[in-house]
Amino acid sequence: MLDSAKVSRGPTLLSANQVLLTTLLVQIAVVAVVATMLVRFWRFRRILLSERRPWSDRFIFALALGVPLSLGVISRLLLGYNAADVSLAGPFLAGLIAGPYAGALVGAMVGIPALAAHEIIAVPFAVGCGFAGGGLRELCPKEAIWHFSPFVFARVLRYLWAALRRFQIDWQVALITAPIGLELLRQALGRRFGEERLFYLPADTPWLLALALLGTMLSVAIPIKIWNGARIEHKLEEQEKLLMAARIQALTNQINPHFLFNTLASISSLIRSQPEIARLLIIRLSTLLRRLLRSQDQFVTLREELSAVDEYLDIECVRFGPSLHVDKDIAPNTLEQIVPSMILQPLVENSIKHGLANKIGGGRVLIRSSRYRGQTVVEVIDNGLGMTHEQIEGALSRDGHGIGLQNVNERLQVIYGAHCRLSIHTIPGEGTLVRVEIPEVVLPDRRSA
């Protein structure tokens, strides 16, 4: 015999109040899901970013929002799934974001299926909600709309007190009041003409009515909160890109004076002893500076970067004469690789200045490039004096005396992050190898800084 405590009981049906509460919660969840899905589409997200939208964008916005909302009305009519019907909040929201005509279009889209089921008040009411949202949009500041939050009801008393104290309209109060007023109107129309003429969720007690009003207000506020989060995220990304571009430009500008001061110091030391060589250096320097002024691209091909290095080496070969030998071993398949501008000249300058300048006898610099595992590897090798471990750390740190290698390393980290690596291999007394591994990138357009 089964124990009486284990005898299964029949299913417990929800009361009318519990059904209403559950429907409101699911309705809010449905609105949040639709808003989240829509904001994932690039075209829809782009429409949210601008307050001045052409008619084509408004039409696309209305269709993107109206289609899922009308499907929700259809599911309510065919399946009895009341939580999918947001025919008040949807048109009002569309009007609030995209203007009265977009709101009216969404209202017509959600009202026509209901009209087919003989809910004759559905179309004029939904279209009116769209015009109400659009009218409020025309009156209030646009940024106030995006400040509308699902948590705004917690600050209602503060908004009311501030409005009364300043004798000014508080637009947050207006944004709260509008959907609540429309819900009260829907409740009144539904009680007057019946559910067969206009869909609504009957609230028979004051606290259920309060929940229905709160649910309608949240159905408007939550999508705005989701979409505003996407707008803020996009703006932060744009600001981060602008900041990175400014930082790269600042680092690039740091290199040019560094090279210029070193070259001018060399010219100054040759003016008295070797005036003709100093004159030739000035001519070569002016040629290089004209090139730098003509092109301010942040990224160039390796071919163009090597051309800039050649102009620099023309200056150094005049200074050092036949004691400086420069060789190149460039793989043809690396010449069109995109690299940051002025990224090789500091490496070559470092080899000549610190590796070869104090070396007795001739010095040699080899510039080599190759492809390895989807990356372009550029190496600058010299047979100079080499570097100690402390010198390497100083060259790559902010506390070091030189800025050439540290600047290059920081630019590479800013642009590529962990996908790029600058390494130094050296043997004191025999030479140094500086190796840069640059990931393969495609340059969509040549943007000037």
In angstroms, rounded to a whole number, what is the distance separating the alpha carbons of residues 285 and 315?
A: 7
Tell me which H or E stretch contains 443: none
Q: Are 420 and 430 in contact (CB under 8 A)?
A: no
Between helix 389-396 and helix 404-416 the angle, nearest 10°, is 60
Taken as a whole, the chain contains a residue count of 449
Q: What is the mean pLDDT of residues 361-387?
A: 86
In angstroms, rounded to a whole number, what is the distance separating the alpha carbons of residues 415 and 408?
A: 11
Look at residue 244 and tell me whether its pLDDT is greater than 70: no
What would the pLDDT profile of 273-316 be if each residue is shown by its tens digit?
A: 888 888 888 888 887 777 666 555 678 889 988 988 887 887 77
Is residue 189 very low, low, confident or very high in pLDDT (cuts 50, 70, 90)? very high
In angstroms, rounded to a whole number, what is the distance separating the alpha carbons of residues 209 and 228?
A: 29
pLDDT at residue 449, rounded to an integer: 37
The CATH number for 271-439, chosen from 3.30.565.10, 3.40.50.2300, 3.30.420.10, 3.10.20.90, is 3.30.565.10
Of 23-27, 346-350, 399-403, least confident by mean pLDDT is 399-403
In angstroms, rounded to a whole number, what is the distance separating the alpha carbons of residues 190 and 196?
A: 9
pTM, full prediction: 0.58
Burial 413-427 (b: 16+ CB within 10 A, else e): ebbeeeebbbebebe
Q: What is the mean pLDDT of residues 207-222?
A: 90
Transcribe 109-120 into DSSP letters: HHHHHHHHTT-T
Q: Which residues, other chains included, contact 182 with Cβ-Cβ below 8 Å and sequence gap of 6+?
A: 88, 92, 129, 132, 216
In angstroms, rounded to a whole number, what is the distance separating the alpha carbons of residues 414 and 405?
A: 14
Question: Among 28, 106, 96, 119, which residue's Cα sits nearest to residue 70?
Answer: 106
Position of tokens 């036949």? Answer: 322
Position of tokens 């040549």? Answer: 446
Give 3-state DSSP helix, strand, coil % of the chain, rounded to 5. Answer: 65, 10, 25
- Higher-pLDDT residue of 162 and 105 is 105
The angle formed by the CA atoms of residues 271, 269 and 259, to the nearest 5 degrees, is 110
Question: Among 192, 218, 188, which residue's Cα sits nearest to residue 203?
Answer: 188
- Token readout for 258 is 């560094």
Q: Where are the domains of the chain?
A: 14-238, 271-439
- Residue 331: helix, strand or coil by DSSP? coil
DSSP state of 198: S
Is residue 3 very low, low, confident or very high in pLDDT (cuts 50, 70, 90)? very low
Is residue 439 very low, low, confident or very high in pLDDT (cuts 50, 70, 90)? confident
Is residue 356 very low, low, confident or very high in pLDDT (cuts 50, 70, 90)? confident
In angstroms, rounded to a whole number, what is the distance separating the alpha carbons of residues 194 and 306?
A: 81
In angstroms, rounded to a whole number, what is the distance separating the alpha carbons of residues 226 and 424?
A: 48
pLDDT at residue 131, rounded to an integer: 95
- In angstroms, the Cα distances linking 299 to 184, 254, 296, 411 are 61, 16, 9, 12
Mean pLDDT of the chain: 81
Look at residue 25 and tell me whether its pLDDT is greater than 70: yes
pLDDT at residue 297, rounded to an integer: 66
Report the range out of 316-320, 347-351, 390-394, 444-448 with the highest average pLDDT.
347-351
- Token readout for 10 is 């029949």
Q: What is the mean pLDDT of residues 93-120?
A: 93
Look at residue 251 and tell me whether its pLDDT is greater than 60: no
- Token readout for 187 is 């409740």
In angstroms, rounded to a whole number, what is the distance separating the alpha carbons of residues 216 and 225?
A: 15
In angstroms, rounded to a whole number, what is the distance separating the alpha carbons of residues 255 and 407?
A: 7
β-pairing, 363-372 with 324-330? parallel
Is residue 120 very low, low, confident or very high in pLDDT (cuts 50, 70, 90)? very high
Is residue 256 very low, low, confident or very high in pLDDT (cuts 50, 70, 90)? low
